[in-house]
């Protein structure tokens, strides 16, 4: 099951993920993707629904009882993107869902009506007895009613509106690498998560400017890097390595139960890059252990420690 989950993510990171970043990120100054004009063509709606369901399915498949595990759970997603299809799928499985995004997208009638209508039909075909009430309300009202989903328009680094120890599960997909202030963000995640609550975080550690050369941003000195990072709304990755993220999780009260890598850097590139890195005195990664550079994508499973 875990291998199948990782294969899905590997395929996605090499496919649809690249599509979005080639379309929106590879330019000098990056506007937030969520504020771009949405593609409501049948092909795009089909692609986006399949993607949302693939993400929801990875969460459901992590647990033996699938949808029953999420029933009654309070689930929060960081950075859901241009639609909330994955979380509304969990809502139809009985979860109470919340999304948090500093660039929360507004309702686009042309796109979202088509997207959620197709999502509803697809869910009914896959799970005929699923309760589609959360989606029905979204479609009938043309917006996101609080009984279907809670929206928080803020950054996770300054998370407000979510009570302490109120969330059972926090999820994110290719989001943590784009945050500006990870220590602050992780402290907020620890604050809102119940003792014993879970975090499931898929992270892409690559330099998003060129996936074939995924470590190049580690060569930059901090001032240069953070200037470009902020100009592009954090889109090409904040450089944190898996071991650094693990240390941050543990520093705020999470136990890292598992880190499962699903993309490993090409060894030929790593050898060539390592020589250049060791010759770059102003990079804070100059002496970073080679094993800490090898994994460039993976999933964290963390548990909030009991007080």
Q: Could you give the count of Cα atoms lying within 13 Å of 2 in the half-sphere of its Cβ?
A: 9
pLDDT at residue 8 above 70? no
Q: What is the DSSP string of 7-37?
A: HHHHHHHHTHHHHHHHHHTSSSSPPPGGGSP
CATH assignment at residue 183:
3.40.50.150
pLDDT at residue 18 above 60? no
Q: 3-class DSSP state for residue 98?
A: strand
For 249, the domain range is 2-304
- In 90-135, DSSP assigns E strands to 96-100
- Least confident piece of the model among 9-23, 211-225, 291-305: 9-23
Question: What are 58-82's pLDDT values in tens digits?
Answer: 999 999 888 899 999 999 999 999 9
pTM for the model: 0.88
State the pairing for strand pair 295-304/167-173. unpaired
State the pairing for strand pair 74-78/295-304. unpaired
- Least confident piece of the model among 14-28, 115-129, 201-215, 247-261: 14-28
pLDDT at residue 19 above 50? no
What pLDDT is attached to residue 36? 79
pLDDT at residue 280 above 50? yes
What pLDDT is attached to residue 136? 98
Other C-beta atoms lying within 10 Å of the C-beta of residue 238: 19
Question: What are 158-183's pLDDT values in tens digits?
Answer: 998 899 999 999 999 999 999 999 99
Identify which of 137, 105, 93, 127 has the alpha carbon closest to the alpha carbon of residue 35. Answer: 105
Q: Which helix (H) or strand (E) holds 68?
A: helix 67-70
What pLDDT is attached to residue 31? 62
Number of independent structural domains in the chain = 1
Question: What are 245-265's pLDDT values in tens digits?
Answer: 999 999 999 999 999 999 999
Identify which of 140, 89, 150 has the alpha carbon closest to the alpha carbon of residue 119. Answer: 89
């Amino acid at each position: 099951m875990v291998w199948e989950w990782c294969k899905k993510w590997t395929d996605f990171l090499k496919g649809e993920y690249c599509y979005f970043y080639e379309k929106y990120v590879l330019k000098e100054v990056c506007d937030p993707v969520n504020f771009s004009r949405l593609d409501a063509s049948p092909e795009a709606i089909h692609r986006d629904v399949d993607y949302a369901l693939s993400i929801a399915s990875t969460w459901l498949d992590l647990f033996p009882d699938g949808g029953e595990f999420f029933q009654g759970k309070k689930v929060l997603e960081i950075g859901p993107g241009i639609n909330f299809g994955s979380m509304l799928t969990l809502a139809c499985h009985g979860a109470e869902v919340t999304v948090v995004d500093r660039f929360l997208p507004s309702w686009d009638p042309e796109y979202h009506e088509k997207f959620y209508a197709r999502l509803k039909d697809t869910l009914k075909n896959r799970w005929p007895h699923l309760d589609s009430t959360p989606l029905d309300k979204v479609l009938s009202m043309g917006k996101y009613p609080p009984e279907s989903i809670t929206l928080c328009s803020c950054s996770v680094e300054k998370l407000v509106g979510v009570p302490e120890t109120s969330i059972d599960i926090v999820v994110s997909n290719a989001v943590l690498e784009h945050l500006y202030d990870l220590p602050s963000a992780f402290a907020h995640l620890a604050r809102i998560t119940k003792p014993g609550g879970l975090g499931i975080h898929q992270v892409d550690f690559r330099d998003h400017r060129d996936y074939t050369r995924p470590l190049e941003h580690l060569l930059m000195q901090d001032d240069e890097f953070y200037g470009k990072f902020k100009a592009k709304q954090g889109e090409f990755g904040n450089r944190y390595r898996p071991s650094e993220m693990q240390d941050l999780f543990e520093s705020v009260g999470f136990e890292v139960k598992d880190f499962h890598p699903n993309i490993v850097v090409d060894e030929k590139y790593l050898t060539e890059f390592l020589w250049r890195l060791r010759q770059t005195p102003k990079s804070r990664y100059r002496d970073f252990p080679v094993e800490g550079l090898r994994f460039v994508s993976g999933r964290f499973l963390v548990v909030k420690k009991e007080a």
